[in-house]
Amino acid sequence: MERNLKVRAVVTSVKNLGDIHKSVSLFSPELGLIYATIYGGRKGKKSSLASLFSVGDFQVYYNPVKNEYSITEEDNLFLPQNISLDILSTYTASYFCETVTRIKTDTPDQVYNLLVSALLALEKSPESHRKILIDYTWKLLNISGTAADLTECPSCSRRLPEDEVLYFSTSLMTPVCRACSDTDSIVLLPGSRKYLIYTQNMSFEEALSVQLYETAQERLTQTLLRYINAFCRYPLKTISSGML
């Protein structure tokens, strides 16, 4: 492997490493998730490197002996201002960043593009954080190959009428008809299902422009958060903490 790399990436977490250094996680279209150290990253000029939720082109050094990446320089491409001014947007962005650390993907480029689009949307309209969360989560489940088409039960293949309430199968990790479900705690109501079917093959941006009433947004948010928790096998911290 090349020792000096140029990596385009989103900064998905930032941690202090003692008094002097920083450790960050990056999500890149080629490498997926990587962890990198910024030596001297808590002081002076280097403290501005790799801000949380920002996007940049990073100069990265790979040390094969330590199997460790370190960041030496950054050309910043996107530095959000509005997200951190709004607490719910900050939580939502943290949730986005946690999901990409937990989803196993063969297409990190698609996940990267979705993550950047969602952060840009959040920066532009922090007040729309719920709608952005819904469209992001549904798109991520589709990219991960877990989303059923919701028009027929994936377990018994029965065609589902529009007004039928769906339940969840924790073994198939997808909504199914009531008879095929193994839990009654996650419910997909007909209106929410209609929205998910309608937006399923749209781009994230197209889905974002489709209107969804606020009460429906709240219900669908709770359903999708439980859906993604089940998909990730154990709960995401940003969800179990109740921040969302």
| Interface with Zn ion (CB under 5 A) | 153, 155-156, 177, 180
Give the dihedral sign, CA 204/153/98/81: positive
Give the dihedral sign, CA 188/194/200/206: negative
145, two tokens:
């190959």
Q: Rounded to an integer, what distance in angstroms lies between the CA atom of residue 182 and that of residue 171?
A: 8
Taking the complex as a whole, the smallest distance from the CB of residue 177 to Zn ion amounts, in Å, to 3
Taking the complex as a whole, the smallest distance from the CB of residue 188 to Zn ion amounts, in Å, to 13
67, two tokens:
């199997």
- Between residues 158 and 237, which has the closer beta carbon with respect to Zn ion? 158
Taking the complex as a whole, the smallest distance from the CB of residue 138 to Zn ion amounts, in Å, to 21
Q: Rounded to an integer, what distance in angstroms lies between the CA atom of residue 133 and that of residue 149?
A: 20
Residue corresponding to tokens 């096998």: 233
Taking the complex as a whole, the smallest distance from the CB of residue 134 to Zn ion amounts, in Å, to 25
Q: Rounded to an integer, what distance in angstroms lies between the CA atom of residue 91 and that of residue 243?
A: 6
Taking the complex as a whole, the smallest distance from the CB of residue 175 to Zn ion amounts, in Å, to 10
- Between residues 40 and 154, which has the closer beta carbon with respect to Zn ion? 154
Q: Find all residues with CB under 8 Å of 192, minimum gap 6, and list them.
A: 216, 219, 220, 223
- Between residues 55 and 153, which has the closer beta carbon with respect to Zn ion? 153
- Between residues 100 and 148, which has the closer beta carbon with respect to Zn ion? 148
- Between residues 85 and 156, which has the closer beta carbon with respect to Zn ion? 156
**CA-derived radius of gyration, the chain:** 20
Residue corresponding to tokens 């003692």: 18
85, two tokens:
């001014």
Query: Quick one: which of 209, 160, 154 has its CA closest to 176?
Result: 154
Taking the complex as a whole, the smallest distance from the CB of residue 222 to Zn ion amounts, in Å, to 23
- Between residues 67 and 157, which has the closer beta carbon with respect to Zn ion? 157
